[in-house]
Amino acid sequence: MQVVIVESPSKAKTINKYLGNDYKVLASYGHIRDLPSRDGSVDPEQDFAMIWDMDAKSKKRVSEIVDAVKKADGLILATDPDREGEAISWHLMEVLHARKALNGMPVRRVAFNAITKKAVTEAMANPRDVDQALVDAYLARRALDYLVGFTLSPVLWRKLPGSRSAGRVQSVALRLICEREMEIEKFVAEEYWSLDAQVTSGGSAPFTARLVTLDGEKLTKFSLGNAGDAARAKAAVEGSRFRIADVQSKPVRRNPYAPFTTSTLQQEASRKLGFNASRTMRTAQRLYEGISIGGETVGLITYMRTDGIDMAPEAVQDARAAVKGTFGAEYLPDSPRMYKSKAKNAQEAHECIRPTSFTRHPRGLKNLGTDEYRLYDLIWKRAIASQMEAARLEQTTIEIASSDDKTGLRATGSVIVFDGFLKLYTETRDDSESEEDGESRLPKVTAGADADVLDPNTEQHFTQPPPRFTEASLVKRLEELGIGRPSTYASIISVLQDRTYVTMDKNRFIPDDKGRIVTAFLENFFARYVQYDFTANLEETLDEISDGKADWKQFLRDFWREFNATVQSLSELRITHVLDALNEALGPHIFPPREDGKPARLCPTCNEGELSLKIGRFGAFIGCSNYPDCNYTRQLAKSEADDPELAEGKVLGVDPNTSLEVSLRTGRFGPYVQLGEENKELKEKPKRASIPKGWEVAEIDFDKAMMLLSLPREVGPHPEDGEMIEAAIGRYGPYIKHGKTYANLPTADEVFEIGLNRAVTVIAEKLANPRGRGQTAAKPIRELGAHPETEDPVNVFEGRYGPYVKHQKINATIPKGMDPQKITLEEAVALIAEREAKGGTKKKATKKAATKTTKKTTTKKAAKKSTKKATKKAAKKST
């Protein structure tokens, strides 16, 4: 009996069917161990010795593998064909050696690029040893990322409270986003004009031409800089006679695109399908692991983590046969198209991402979910198109000149003569427009013939700032710079969003103020480690290690020597120095020029102090240097220039009951309304109320302010016990309260509108469906169906911290960018499996244990207290 180890249970089932009864295929469920998230897991003092740890689930699975291996005749490691796959095999060997399970048993390593019977059988016939160079590259990358993260992050926590973490590649990606935002903010739009006209010649149909020459000078983009220039150009066109000066037509060939790599798949899936990188990789993983076809699970695509764009010879022939059979011989080039990767050192899974069989047309696959179908269709079309004939176009340029040759117009157009690969596939640009110009046919005209130029029309334009990064354009830029690897891009982007360093608006990244502060800090004090060239050079060295051309320990020694020295040199750095540097670096963003011409950093309240970045326990804000005499604060992104009145307090009216002014203000936690002023002598703070979510600040008037300041509102006495029901807005939003029962309300408006009958009903529903500490039992917002393994329901819920999917006792958060209204059952099952693999029920167990401990402690304390009281009473009586 031979034991075969793969990563996932679904792969294990499929491959066991391929191999038969002489093999037992087990799953490791990904990595069996990892570096614990604590300081000291990588020890530079012990030549970068690493401490590896296993969670409870991994320990159980490893024990099963150990028991199986001890009874086996041989071990075959069949993990994925990349660096991570090689690392998992290495970890398994290390653990099995430590458990003394091998005892001289032969261990072979096999790698297959697709989960098909042919690919698996061929791989089993060609075993090899574990590639130590790839393992060394993995160890170097893992240690490097750990050392940077666990050394930089504590520096951030000490010097910039509220910051979450820093990472080797994550910080560079964040810098790209922040620099793009600064370009946008500094951008000054520039005006320019253009002139188009309709042209006919010899009775031809009219066509559009653009002015390119004026007064004998060739026009540039900004030659017509204002309305006066445009009017002068229009007068010149209207006052001239024209002829067709030249007609040129030339053939143009457009070749197909290479098949997908991980990076190009992520980019195109983002542009064409609206998938984020994580969603693309999850869906591709399911396509790789396969679906049931004729009672047998078959992988539909080759391995999806690759930099390679070449295709196996047999796959090329398969694709060419599909082209000829589907589109005809005229769409098949005379010889196969060969593609070569431009990457200096492509991933170890060298082949491109392609279908495992080109005869499996997407329309013929009935078992695919929506996401799987759309992504497979994209991969199938791109791979087929890569072996199709080039598109042939005819590009025509018509030059129209005035009789004195001082004024000229030009018309350009192209006509598709033969569509070639465009019949099947066109790539999409970052701006969501097709790269193809489309068919723009010009009429036949003769050089030298007279031309009529009609209806000259001038149009005003303004230059546009560079666009914010989308996921596709960010991945493309990282790849161009040689930073990170395609398999890491999805996790990099997720970390930036999870840390709230960036937010997404219309599928584009906007840096949060927290992210800008972290970037400014690193650029000022760790400049070298966020430089693009430096990070790219590290990647090159890691690639050299994977090729066996560099020693990984020496690489870490060289890096750590300089990096640690930089960190140590900042140990005495005072926060005031940090804030001075950040004030300078972020000045244009956080202290924009004031409309009244006063210094940008002059405090608008006391008119004496200087505004400065301040660091509090909840992060950064702007405050006055005259604190505590001046309490002026505001949010980092909010400037008094946006609404100068709010900085000092915009008076809305006077409360008739107290004769105190009611004002609208803005502070470090956002806009709020306030009654009166602070009494510093008595240390009495005025009554305040935050502006609830969904209410526009511009619409807050005196009446609305008084409504907020009047909370909590008495709704009425409960008919059963007469106790007052109150409505208010709290930390977690609007609610009503009766005794110790709290029930959430859907909107802030309902706090002021809810009547007694409705309030009693809401309270009754709460009591009838308690969950935890009296929380209403949640109802699913969508029911997805039965889990394929347990038949129990899988549903979508809306939670306090966002939407999630639930199966039995496992809750899995729906990632940002994935629409909870569109998530499929297959996607939900994958998320639940991921959560379960990470220990989905741990938190509940911990919570239970904690509750028990708390109860015990409370009981002990109560017993102690009562004993003390009893002793005191006895003492009093005796006296």
Tokens of 658: 């107290």
Return the number of other C-beta atoms located less than 10 Å from residue 184's C-beta: 14
Kindly state the DSSP code that residue 485 receives in the 8-state scheme. -
User: Residue type for 598, please?
Assistant: K
Other CB atoms closer than 10 Å to residue 575's CB: what's the count?
13
Max Cα–Cα distance, the chain, nearest Å: 128
Q: Pick from 685, 691, 683, 684: which is nearest to 665 by CA?
A: 691
Instruction: Give the span between the Cα atoms of 495 and 168, in whole angstroms.
Output: 12
Paired residues of 803 in beta bridges:
798
Specify the residue for token string 């004993």: 867
Alpha-carbon span 315 to 360, nearest angstrom? 13
Neighbours of 396 (CB within 10 A): 20
Structure tokens at 252: 């143009």
Distance (Å, rounded) from C-alpha 869 to C-alpha 278? 60
| Separation between Cα atoms, residue 174 and residue 509, nearest integer Å | 10
Sign of the C-alpha dihedral computed for residues 544, 549, 551 and 555 taken in this order: negative
Q: Are strands 741-744 and 733-738 parallel, antiparallel or unpaired?
A: antiparallel
Q: Kindly write down the DSSP assignment for every residue of 272-307, as one continuous string.
A: II---HHHHHHHHHHHHH-EEETTEEE--B--S---
Whether residue 316 contacts residue 512, with contact meaning beta carbons closer than 8 Å, is answered with no
Non-local CB neighbours of 361 within 8 Å, separated by 6+ positions = 380
Cα distance between the two ends of the chain:
86
Cis peptide preceding 106, ω within 30 of 0: no
Distance CA 179, CA 481 (A): 15
For residues 640 and 607, what is the distance between their CA atoms, to the nearest angstrom? 13
Tokens linked to 97:
């050696």
Cα 733 from Cα 743, distance rounded (Å): 10
**What is the four-CA torsion angle of 349, 351, 353, 359, rounded to 10 degrees?**
-130
Are residues 261 and 309 in contact, defined by beta-carbon separation less than 8 angstroms? yes
CB 692 within 8 A of CB 745: no
- Which among 303, 331, 529, 804 is annotated as catalytic? 303
874: left (phi over 0), alpha (psi -120 to 50) or beta: alpha
CB 697 within 8 A of CB 671: yes
Establish whether the linkage from the previous residue to 628 is cis, with ω within 30° of 0: yes
Q: What does the alpha-carbon distance between residue 162 and residue 165 come to, in Å, rounded to a whole number?
A: 10
Let me know if 303 is a catalytic residue. Answer: yes
CB neighbour list of residue 63: distance below 8 Å, 6 or more residues apart: none
Listed in sequence order, the residues at least 6 apart from 225 whose beta carbon sits closer than 8 Å to its beta carbon are: 191, 192, 193
Give the three-class secondary structure for 204: coil
In the chain, what are the helix, strand and coil shares in percent, each to the nearest 5? 40, 25, 35
Q: Specify whether the backbone of 432 is left (phi greater than 0), alpha (psi in -120 to 50) or beta.
A: left
- Helical axes 532-546 vs 132-159, angle rounded to 10°: 150
Say which residue the tokens 């741990």 belong to: 842
- CA nearest to 378, candidates 353, 402, 403: 353
Kindly list the catalytic residues. Answer: 303
